[in-house]
Amino acid sequence: MSTDTHSDSPAARRRLDQIKAELERHNRLYYLEAAPEISDFEYDALMRELMDLERRFPDLRTPDSPSQRVGGAPLDAFQTVTHRVPMLSIDNTYSPEELREFDDRVRKGLGGESPAYIVELKLDGVAISLRYEKGVLIRGATRGDGVRGDDVTQNVRAIRAVPLRLADGAPESLEVRGEVFMRNAELDRLNKLREESGDEPYRNPRNTTAGTLKLLDSRTVAERRLEFFAYDIAESEGVNIVSHLQTLRDLQAWGLPVNPHHQRCGSMDEVIDACQRWHEKRHTLGYETDGMVVKVDAAAQRQRLGSTAKSPRWVIAYKFPAEVARTRLNNIVVQVGKSGALTPVAEMDPVKLAGTIVKRATLHNFEELAKKDLRLGDTVEVQKAGEIIPQVLRFLPEARPAEAVAYPLPKACPVCGGEVHKDPDGVFLRCLNLSCPAQVKERLEHFASRKAMDIDGLGPALITQLVDKGYVTGPADLYALHADRLCTLDRMAQKSADNLVKAIEASKARPLGRLLFGLGIRHVGAHTAEVLAGHFGHIDAVMAAPADQLQGIPDIGGVVADSIRDFFDTPQNRDLIEKLRSAGVNMEEVLAAAPSGPRPFHGMTFVVTGTLTKYTRDEIHDRIKALGGKAASSVSKSTTYLVAGESAGSKLEKARQLGLAILNEDEFDALAGGNT
């Protein structure tokens, strides 16, 4: 090795130390002082220079280097860590009266003393614990069940707002609690990328943050711009904690970002006033908050108040009430999905709701529309479910125009004019014309989506052009596209056309499960498609299987079996399969190598139901499979565990009747983490 690449090169060490100091200084300016001096481009140029130096002089790379923020090699699974100080939950209040009751309990616990409070924003993110030794970040862990959490250090290092090394004067040993979150603008950026690639958009910043921290590949975490605010000290060496206000100042002095919107209040009247002011003002922040956190300021008073087994007695959360706005229902338009389902959508006068302007809201189906008796011209109340998805709650009878009439059921498809029928045992009206342009576009988007054939670059805008120009009438036509024809489309240059043709060609090798999912068979999701592919191994065997044989496969009941048979008994669909076969699309299951990591869930069957807060459905299924378990879709005697989120319904009831073990998400995490 030449002398200029030797690890003890003084010049390299000096330059490397200089770049590291510059990058950390710019992080402090951006996240602590909100006074950036350089652009993202200039910051990235410094990072590239640092990484190049570390590649040339690997002995100079340290765990606290800013280069660690780009992510490392994927993990097989997360390890479980035990919190030295439990991460307790916080009780909620929903009204000023309940806040006053909390104040009465605090005063009683303090023998009549009058406490001062610190009021902070309650970020709608994910709680995290960070441990520093000698000023260097050594561990980041999720809350988990409060006692044990997942070690997500590698992912935390990818968050630029989290300092890898604390400033001078920080304690030798320090454990910090804080919140990881995502700004609304970053969610919008990610969803634009997902729209272009044909993927479903992320629903809200909180769930996206939680899912990001659970990713086993920190390189993807680094690509998503998560942020962090510290809000408390769990443990510290040599620090005399006097008050929470001083704690926030100390955290910031040590280089940890702290939310600037906190206030010391001398009375509960001041607390309530602060909460009510932020109810409206929070929409100017650019990130989601769902309430305020009210904490006794004095450390000595906190110690006297103590904690219950669940939560401290010196802190309470005030949850903002759901916002409801009134507006006028101007029109109802009908959208047609890939399965031909007709969905009514309300078009309304623009109204500000939870910080955004709302103009449209889904009405789900025509039975729901009839049940709510919504009519054009009605004044309606609109709410955001979870402050994300607009929904029409009801109309105001006293404001209904005399001429308002019920919205008629469509007798024909609004796109192609084709015949529509109601599902025999369901609520949806469907267009029966398989050549309906709206269905074709939706089916193509689904076929090209990430979980199906994963055709990079084939997004909704391009599909619309392909269908409208008559270049494509179904999935098989994609494999006949050439770059010269694609170049005739708007915003399609030669390089983009060449890349798309390569992506379409690469999709031919996808495993059978991806193809079966991409075909859009009713009731056949990604998991059921994998089950079919794993059981039969070849599409011809699936096509030939009678309904009773299909029903003999775990997770496939009568409705799903009949749907599969109906699909493959339809001549147009069998013709599609032959066209795809002729184009060279793989028709067999590609067996993956057996995982090399621990498989503690081997032999276990999990069913997931309800609304999850930490995972998407695919993420929890992937974790179950990565640990050797089976993710099933229906509850039976062979089910080992039911993982139940919020609003769990019939599956939860059936699991109780069968006496099955039922887990919430934290309990699932503890089971998964405790065995890895």
Which pLDDT score, from 0 to 100, does residue 362 have?
A: 84
Residue 43: pLDDT over 80: no
Residue 107: pLDDT over 60: yes
Cα–Cα separations (whole angstroms), residue 373 to 346, 370, 392, 394 = 13, 5, 11, 8
Of residues 495, 505, 410, the one with CA closest to residue 454 = 505
- Count of other CB atoms within 10 angstroms of residue 521: 21
The CA distance from 372 to 58, in Å, is 66
Task: Report the CATH number that the domain containing residue 35 is assigned in CATH.
Answer: 1.10.287.610
Task: Report the CATH number that the domain containing residue 659 is assigned in CATH.
Answer: 3.40.50.10190
Question: Mind giving me the DSSP string for 39-66?
Answer: -HHHHHHHHHHHHHHHHHSGGG--TT-G
- Rounded to an integer, the average pLDDT of 658-665 is 88
441: tokens are 């576009």
Whether residue 70 lies inside any domain: the answer is no
* Confidence band of 6 (pLDDT split at 50, 70, 90): very low
Whether residue 653 lies inside any domain: the answer is yes
Could you tell me where the DSSP H helices lie in 470-570?
483-486, 494-507, 512-518, 526-536, 539-544, 547-551, 558-569
Is 352 catalytic? The answer is: no
Which pLDDT score, from 0 to 100, does residue 652 have?
A: 87
Question: Mind giving me the DSSP string for 103-155?
Answer: HHHHHHHTTT----EEEEEEESSEEEEEEEETTEEEEEEE-TTSSEEEB-HHH
Whether residue 589 lies inside any domain: the answer is no
**Together in a domain, 413 and 561:** no
**Together in a domain, 296 and 417:** no
DSSP H or E stretch at residue 343: strand 342-353
Each residue's pLDDT tens digit, 23-35: 888 877 776 666 7
Which pLDDT score, from 0 to 100, does residue 333 have?
A: 93
Q: Which residue has the higher pLDDT, 515 or 67?
A: 515
Each residue's pLDDT tens digit, 308-352: 877 899 999 998 887 788 999 999 999 998 888 899 999 999 988
Whether residue 225 lies inside any domain: the answer is yes
Q: Report the percent of the chain where pLDDT is more than 90.
A: 46
The CA distance from 444 to 518, in Å, is 9
Q: Is 549 helix (H, G, I), strand (E, B) or coil?
A: helix
**Together in a domain, 465 and 571:** yes
Residue 273: pLDDT over 90: yes
* Confidence band of 79 (pLDDT split at 50, 70, 90): confident
DSSP 391: E
The residues that bridge with 126 in the sheet, in sequence order, are 180
Whether residue 112 lies inside any domain: the answer is yes
- Rounded to an integer, the average pLDDT of 544-553 is 92
**Together in a domain, 18 and 33:** yes
**Together in a domain, 145 and 235:** yes
**Together in a domain, 215 and 191:** yes
Final residue of a structural domain among 422, 443, 472: 422
Residue 300: pLDDT over 80: yes
Query: Which one of the listed residues 20, 122, 214, 630 is annotated catalytic?
Result: 122
**Together in a domain, 404 and 494:** no
Which pLDDT score, from 0 to 100, does residue 267 have?
A: 96
Residue 2: pLDDT over 50: no
* Confidence band of 194 (pLDDT split at 50, 70, 90): confident
Whether residue 76 lies inside any domain: the answer is no
**Together in a domain, 122 and 256:** yes
CA distance from start to end of the chain: 41
The CA distance from 386 to 400, in Å, is 28
- In degrees, to the nearest 5, what angle opens at C-alpha 353 toward C-alphas 347 and 357? 55
Q: Is 610 helix (H, G, I), strand (E, B) or coil?
A: coil
Mean pLDDT of the residues in the chain: 87
Buried b (16+ CB within 10 A) or exposed e, 287-298: bbbbbbbbbbbb
Which pLDDT score, from 0 to 100, does residue 197 have?
A: 60
> What amino acid is encoded at 268 in this protein?
M
- Rounded to an integer, the average pLDDT of 419-426 is 81
Buried b (16+ CB within 10 A) or exposed e, 442-462: bbbbbbbbebbbbbbbbbbeb
Residue 592: pLDDT over 60: no
Each residue's pLDDT tens digit, 594-653: 555 667 888 889 999 887 777 777 778 878 887 888 888 788 888 999 998 877 778 888
Which pLDDT score, from 0 to 100, does residue 421 have?
A: 87
Whether residue 234 lies inside any domain: the answer is yes
Q: How far is CA 630 from the centre of its chain?
A: 22
**SS3 labels along 216-275:** CCHHHHHHCCCEEEEEEEEEECCCCCCEHHHHHHHHHHCCCCECCCEEEECCHHHHHHHH
Structural domain range at position 292: 81-319
Of residues 110, 112, 84, the one with CA closest to residue 300 = 110
Which pLDDT score, from 0 to 100, does residue 623 have?
A: 84
The region of weakest confidence among 38-42, 54-58, 377-381 is 38-42
Q: Is 197 helix (H, G, I), strand (E, B) or coil?
A: coil
Final residue of a structural domain among 319, 337, 359: 319
521-525: long-range contacts (C-beta < 8 A, 24 or more apart)? 521/563, 521/564, 521/567, 522/339, 522/563, 522/566, 522/567, 523/559, 523/560, 523/563, 524/560, 524/563, 524/564, 525/633
Task: Report the CATH number that the domain containing residue 503 is assigned in CATH.
Answer: 1.10.150.20
**Together in a domain, 45 and 109:** no
Task: Report the CATH number that the domain containing residue 185 is assigned in CATH.
Answer: 3.30.470.30
Instruction: Tally the residues of the chain.
Output: 676
Task: Report the CATH number that the domain containing residue 410 is assigned in CATH.
Answer: 2.40.50.140
- Rounded to an integer, the average pLDDT of 262-275 is 96
pTM: 0.53
Q: Which residue has the higher pLDDT, 593 or 253?
A: 253
Please count the structural domains in the chain. Answer: 5
**Together in a domain, 416 and 514:** no
Which pLDDT score, from 0 to 100, does residue 676 have?
A: 38
**Together in a domain, 193 and 209:** yes
Q: Report the percent of the chain where pLDDT is more than 70.
A: 92
- At what angle are helices 205-213 and 184-196 packed, to 10 degrees? 80
The CA distance from 288 to 205, in Å, is 7
**Together in a domain, 117 and 241:** yes
Residue 397: pLDDT over 90: yes
- Count of other CB atoms within 10 angstroms of residue 132: 25
The CA distance from 547 to 529, in Å, is 16
Whether residue 441 lies inside any domain: the answer is no
